[in-house]
Structure 1
Amino acid sequence: MASSSDQPTTQQSNVMLSDVIGRDRSINIFASLTRDVAAVEQRLQEPSQNSTVLAPLNSQMDNLGRKPWEDARDYENFGAATAYEGDDGRDRAQRNLRKFTEAHILPVANWQEGEKVKSLLEGDKEIWWENKEGKKVIHPDGIIVDNVASKVANGQLWTIRGVRDYS
């Protein structure tokens, strides 16, 4: 039985990642986060900026232990009630959101099996994928790829059944 990640998708030459990421309701939570990070939003619109977007499914986003803009260290350092209050708190939340989002964007358009890459997140570890029992699995986190949803002029949109470790 073929997995959904093996279904062929046709590359759309005049379409950008920014055009397709909001169309898939199964990833609309992550899609909205990409619009909240200016550098990511611009990258997904730019024809010369190749990317592979690893978009967690809504079900994965709903099951996170904390929101993408939260960091346990912020609560320890500033207290739960004030960690994200005021201008400094909003800045912390925006930085955390940027880190989360950048960890799910790779600077390659056609990510090949076994190819080790780092995301846009500064200081990120290398990741790669392999076909395992008919499914694409992203390592070292062991995230299963749901499917390659779109292939467009500036890259690919993959939906994933997990969230990258971005801490």
Structure 2
Amino acid sequence: MPPSEDSPATSQPADPDTVILSDVLGSDRSIHIFAGFTRDFAQISQRFEDSSLNTTILAPVNSAIMALPRKPWEDPEDYDKLGGEAYEGKDGEDRASRNLRRFVEAHVVPASPWKEGDKLKTLAGGDIWWESKNGAKIIQPGNIEVSSVKSKVHNGEVWVLKGVRNYA
């Protein structure tokens, strides 16, 4: 099967002894919902497998995703335009996939290490930075607390968030 159009042209597999993001992302049960979402998109999964592409993954805890007022693949504008069948059929599935990808990409920063105050763009394109407040890392915009930096590996870090970034 030929590579998809959105697959990186020069993916660099890691040395078999090198631990990379794809090795550790699924190991923490508190973020397994988000980890599962990332596997739905080849370009994102390939980024996590590429030892030459440093990345900071901002993984919301399961409870933050479950507490959302809507599912990550839903967009109120879709319902406004298309009604209750917004996610029915092939067009609806495609729409939901695009929305879910936007959600995931809003939580992926294509840099690591990431210094405090450095404004970067997520894969979704929005500006983002972090700052220290009362001894905690806080993601801006949004005032989202980082509960921990779960993993530091060859090609990046996994930061566990107590909340969800605005993905609309």
- Structure-2-length-normalised TM-score: 0.88
Tell me if 1:27 matches 2:44.
no
The one-character-per-residue Cα deviations of 1:108-141 (angstroms, maximum 9, x if unpaired) are 010111111110004x2x1111111011111111
**Counterpart Cα distance in 2 of 1:49 and 1:137:** 24
- Structure 1, residues 57-109: CA drift from partner, whole Å, max 9, x if none? 011011011111110011111111x1111110000000001000000000001
Letter aligned with residue 119 of structure 2? K
1:134 paired residue number: 135
Q: For residue 62 of structure 2, what is the amino acid of its counterpart?
A: N
What pairs up with 1:66-81 in 2 under 5 angstroms? Answer: 66-80=70-84
In the TM superposition, residue 166 of structure 1 has moved relative to its aligned partner by 1.5
The 1-side partners of 2:165 and 2:152 are apart by 21
Following superposition, the deviation at residue 39 of structure 1 comes to 1.2
Aligned length: 152
Structure 2 CA distance for aligned equivalents of residues 97 and 42 of structure 1: 17
Unaligned runs of 5+ in 1: 1-12
Report the counterpart of residue 146 of structure 1 in structure 2. 147
d(CA) in 1 for partners of 2:167 and 2:120? 14
Alpha-carbon distance in structure 2 between the residues aligned to 1:48 and 1:67: 33
Per-residue deviation, 1:38: 1.5
**Which residue of structure 2 aligns with residue 37 of structure 1?**
41
Q: CA RMSD in A?
A: 1.0
Pair 1:106 & 2:109 matched: yes
How far residue 46 of structure 1 moved from its aligned partner, in angstroms, is 0.8
Tell me how far apart the structure 2 counterparts of residues 53 and 61 of structure 1 sit (CA, whole Å): 15
Instruction: Say if 1:146 and 1:161, in contact at 8 Å, map to a contact too.
Output: yes
Q: What is the letter of the counterpart of residue 57 of structure 1?
A: V
Determine the C-alpha separation between the residues in 2 that align with 1:92 and 1:117.
Answer: 27
1:129 aligns to what SS in structure 2? strand
Q: Could you tell me whether the CA contact under 8 Å between 1:52 and 1:111 is conserved in 2?
A: yes
Code of the aligned partner of 1:93 = A
Cα distance in 2 for partners of 1:118, 1:57 equals: 22
Residue 65 of structure 1 is matched in structure 2 by: 69
TM (norm. structure 1) is 0.89
Is the Cα–Cα contact under 8 Å of residues 16 and 153 in structure 1 kept in the other structure? yes
Tell me if the contact between 1:37 and 1:97 (Cα under 8 Å) persists in the aligned partners: no
Please identify runs of 4+ aligned residues in structure 1 that moved more than 3 A.
Answer: none
* Offset at residue 37 of structure 1 (A): 1.5
